[in-house]
């Protein structure tokens, strides 16, 4: 008997009444060359690395994100999200797609000032990345309907003005490679989401801003900063 009930964070599935229950949210850093450069890093030095957000940080499309405390530099990062449907560890690149349930468009909201501070002092990124409402996400489009898109426009606009505009074919570590690599560190399980990293053009948002983003053929996400 639990002391109290906890809600199960979950994401709608396109053309279905089913919900995808969220277990863990993994995020990949520095996965598009131009974004690596805009953040001031050397491309050659890049290897995938990971951080996490809590499952209940998700915000569904048409929702609101309350401007978080302890920051004056809240940034958006538009990302392709992989929804895992089958458990595995040490997954081979060639078998990675077998573990994908579907794909979504997500935004990795970031307290950039805290992240810069953490980088300087060598402290964890947790409060820069894993805060409340930091993981907006569109409905999940199942592989059974769209296959495994590897060439699609990814974009984000703030109040109707395009700020990020790229293609998921520019991912440094593509989806199969990311799954294989991540599963060498942890066992992936159904319900896991992987935010695969953002293209260039990241920037600040203010209260009242409306963020709209999407990945062609996968989904769109729309949130308002409150």
Q: Which residues contribute to the site for Mn ion (CB under 5 A)?
A: 77, 108, 198
Residue 78 CB, shortest distance to Mn ion, in Å, is: 9
Residue nearest to Mn ion (CB): 108
Residue 1 CB, shortest distance to Mn ion, in Å, is: 39
Long-range contacts of 84-89 (CB under 8 A, 24+ apart): 84/179, 84/188, 84/189, 84/190, 84/191, 84/192, 84/193, 84/194, 85/190, 86/190, 87/187, 87/188, 87/189, 87/190, 88/183, 88/187, 88/188, 89/183, 89/184, 89/186, 89/187, 89/188
Residue 19 CB, shortest distance to Mn ion, in Å, is: 24
Residue 221 CB, shortest distance to Mn ion, in Å, is: 14
* Residue (2 or 45) nearer to Mn ion, CB: 45
Residue 108 CB, shortest distance to Mn ion, in Å, is: 3
* Residue (108 or 192) nearer to Mn ion, CB: 108
* Residue (77 or 142) nearer to Mn ion, CB: 77
* Residue (108 or 181) nearer to Mn ion, CB: 108
C-beta neighbour count of 217 within 10 angstroms: 14
* Residue (91 or 194) nearer to Mn ion, CB: 194
């Amino acid at each position: 008997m639990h002391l109290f009930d906890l809600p199960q964070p979950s994401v709608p599935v396109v053309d279905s009444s089913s919900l995808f229950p969220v277990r863990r949210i993994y995020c990949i850093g520095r996965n598009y060359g131009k974004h690596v450069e805009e953040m001031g890093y050397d491309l050659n030095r890049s290897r995938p690395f990971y951080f996490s957000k809590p499952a209940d940080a998700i915000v569904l499309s048409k929702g609101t994100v309350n401007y978080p405390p302890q920051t004056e530099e809240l940034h958006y990062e538009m990302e392709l999200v992989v929804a895992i449907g089958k458990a595995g560890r040490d997954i081979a690149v060639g078998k990675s797609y077998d573990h994908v349930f579907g794909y979504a468009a997500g935004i990795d909201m970031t307290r950039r000032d805290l992240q810069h501070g953490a980088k300087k002092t060598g402290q964890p990124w947790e409060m820069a990345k894993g805060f409340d409402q930091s993981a907006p996400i569109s409905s999940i489009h199942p592989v059974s309907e769209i296959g495994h898109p590897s060439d699609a426009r990814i974009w984000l606009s703030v109040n109707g003005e395009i700020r990020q505009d790229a293609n998921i074919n520019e991912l440094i570590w593509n989806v199969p490679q990311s799954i294989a690599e991540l599963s060498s560190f942890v066992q992936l399980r159904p319900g896991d989401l992987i935010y695969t990293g953002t293209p260039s053009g990241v920037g600040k948002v203010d209260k009242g801003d409306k963020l709209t983003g999407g990945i062609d053929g996968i989904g769109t996400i729309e949130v308002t900063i409150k």
